[in-house]
Amino acid sequence: MAKVTLGKKACSVNPLKMSQPIGGALAFMGLRGAMPLLHGSQGCTSFGLVLFVRHFKEAIPLQTTAMSEVATVLGGYENVEQAILNIHKRAKPEIIGICSTGVTETKGDDVEGFIKLVRENHPEVKDLPIVYVSTPDFKDAFQDGWEKTVARIVDVLVEAPKTQTRRDPARVNVLPGCHMTPGDIDELRTIIEDFGLEPAFLPDLGGSLDGHIPDEFTPTTIGGIGVEDVAAMGYASWTIAIGAQMRRAAEAMQRKTGMPFRVFERLCGLAPNDEFMAFLSEISGRPVPLKYRRQRGQLVDAMLDGHFHIGGRKLAIGAEPDLLYDVGSLLHEMGAHIDAAVTTTQSPVLERLPAEDVLIGDLEDLEKLAGDKGCDLLVTHSHGRQAATRLNIPFYRVGIPMFDRLGAGHQTTVGYRGTRTLIFSVSNLIIEDHENNHEPTPETWRDGGHAANSVIAH
């Protein structure tokens, strides 16, 4: 439905986009005992680190090969070698995940070759799992980095099952997109387990970045899926991919293990969750638990209550493709019109977005479109706060980074329950905006009437 256009500006103003390597690094953070390592200069890592600390409000494991100017020109073998050895010695990780950056890609470092050489020269790291992903900063966006990294983890770490007969019908693999928060993962785990299934999440940010208090001090991730659990994923019966971005990883899983997969492009909204429940019921052979029948009723009720407020809203939304499609579609289903949609990178879901246009652009574009079209609801990550202030419209935060509010990791939008929460939060925001900015006063009907007044109020 939507026409996708690519912004033509030379200067990106107020970026919506974040870089590929940190998307990849975050994916590695869903593995247990992991140390993500960016192959680039120190700043590449420190910016990512600060971003994640501010978002999750947790200690974040992330290392750098600390490429200097000279090392960059000469090639980074020694830095990669030293980094691996140092991390191995100090942090004792179960896995090191390496993402390249713009500098090392421009130079053209052969990191796979480096890793091979490091393993040959240093027996102590011969068997240490190391996964490398090529993620130059000058291509694609955060979501692509996540997507490539998960697919790569599947390629490298999942073992092809030696025999099909050992497949366990109760086990399912879940490949969540980067738009799933630790809270979303927890919710999905509960839902799937309630059908008597045993889900394995790759990556599992629910285990590593949910803010729990760790059992010991460790410089690596404190939870998530273990390397051996990833290796054994081939013995499950199904792969469930969440978000169109995860199709690539699901296909990799199928190639490697012959496992069937199903992609759920959305899990926010009534219809997508009906489909999801039906699917779980089918593969588990169990009826949908009473709990979810009740939750479905509650969601329907929330939709009825919320549509008064969300209905007719002119929505301006900026997010990475899968998140945009997920939340944008739900709000559309609640009666909002997506009048301004901006995203970061290409994706097949963009064309299916219920809007006329989607622009691959920045927050300046979103702000301009929102202003031109008279939008009265802004949905994007925390960087949208300046635009919302200038436009004086209600602002709902979704995605990464969310640094100016607490609880980013626990914000939940999946399932009947998550969708209900989202509807209530957005509706309440709109009600509050009405109370603060649009209450009728004795002056309301003077000089051109209510309409003029509400325009001034904007």
Does residue 136 bind another protein (CB under 8 A)? yes
Task: Lay out the site mask for another protein across 215-254 (x = CB under 8 A, - = otherwise).
Answer: xxx-------------------------------------
Q: Which two tokens stand for residue 444?
A: 């309301």
Q: With respect to another protein, which residue has the nearer C-beta, 126 or 293?
A: 126
| Interface pick for another protein out of 26, 51, 334, 423 (rule CB under 8 A) | 51
Stretch that binds another protein, among 39-47, 123-131, 250-258, 432-440 (CB under 8 A): 39-47
Give CA–CA dist 145/38, Å, rounded.
12
Torsion angles phi and psi, residue 213, rounded to 5: -85, 125
Does residue 444 bind another protein (CB under 8 A)? no
Does residue 346 bind another protein (CB under 8 A)? no
Q: Which two tokens stand for residue 234?
A: 């081939």
Q: With respect to another protein, which residue has the nearer C-beta, 64 or 413?
A: 64
Q: With respect to another protein, which residue has the nearer C-beta, 129 or 136?
A: 136
Please say whether the beta carbons of 339 and 367 come within 8 A.
no
Task: Lay out the site mask for another protein across 391-430 (x = CB under 8 A, - = otherwise).
Answer: ------------x---------------------------
| Interface pick for another protein out of 141, 197, 233, 408 (rule CB under 8 A) | 141
Q: With respect to another protein, which residue has the nearer C-beta, 228 or 404?
A: 404
Stretch that binds another protein, among 5-13, 234-242, 285-293, 303-311 (CB under 8 A): 5-13
The owner of tokens 């994007």 is 380
Question: Positive or negative CA dihedral for 196, 200, 203, 205?
Answer: positive
Give CA–CA dist 64/41, Å, rounded.
7
**Per DSSP, which regions of 198-304 are E strands?**
198-201, 238-242, 261-264
Give CA–CA dist 399/294, Å, rounded.
28
Q: CA dist 56 to 21, 86, 206, 252, 401, Å? A: 18, 26, 12, 30, 9
Find the angle CA(183)-CA(184)-CA(185) to the nearest 5 degrees: 90
Give CA–CA dist 415/241, Å, rounded.
15
Stretch that binds another protein, among 78-86, 191-199, 275-283, 435-443 (CB under 8 A): 78-86
CB atoms within 10 A of CB 70: 7
Does residue 445 bind another protein (CB under 8 A)? no
CB 384 → another protein: shortest distance, Å? Answer: 11
Q: Which two tokens stand for residue 22?
A: 């940190």
Region 19-38 residues binding another protein, contact defined as CB under 8 A: 19, 21-22, 37
Q: With respect to another protein, which residue has the nearer C-beta, 105 or 265?
A: 105
CB 346 → another protein: shortest distance, Å? Answer: 13
CB 262 → another protein: shortest distance, Å? Answer: 33
| Interface pick for another protein out of 1, 3, 5, 46 (rule CB under 8 A) | 46
Region 56-75 residues binding another protein, contact defined as CB under 8 A: 58-59, 63-69, 71-73
Q: With respect to another protein, which residue has the nearer C-beta, 141 or 315?
A: 141
H-state helical runs in 285-414 = 290-310, 321-333, 363-372, 385-391
Q: Which two tokens stand for residue 276?
A: 């999801």
Does residue 42 bind another protein (CB under 8 A)? yes
Does residue 369 bind another protein (CB under 8 A)? no
Please say whether the beta carbons of 227 and 246 come within 8 A.
no
Report the first-to-last Cα separation within the chain, whole angstroms: 30
Among the listed residues 282, 279, 240, 231, the one whose alpha carbon sits nearest the alpha carbon of residue 259:
240
CB 359 → another protein: shortest distance, Å? Answer: 14
Does residue 84 bind another protein (CB under 8 A)? yes
Q: CA dist 208 to 59, 69, 188, 226, 387, Å? A: 11, 34, 15, 11, 33
- Contacting positions for another protein (CB under 8 A): 9-15, 17-19, 21-22, 37, 40-51, 53-54, 58-59, 63-69, 71-73, 78-80, 82-87, 90, 101-103, 106-107, 136-139, 141, 213-217, 362, 364, 383, 386, 403
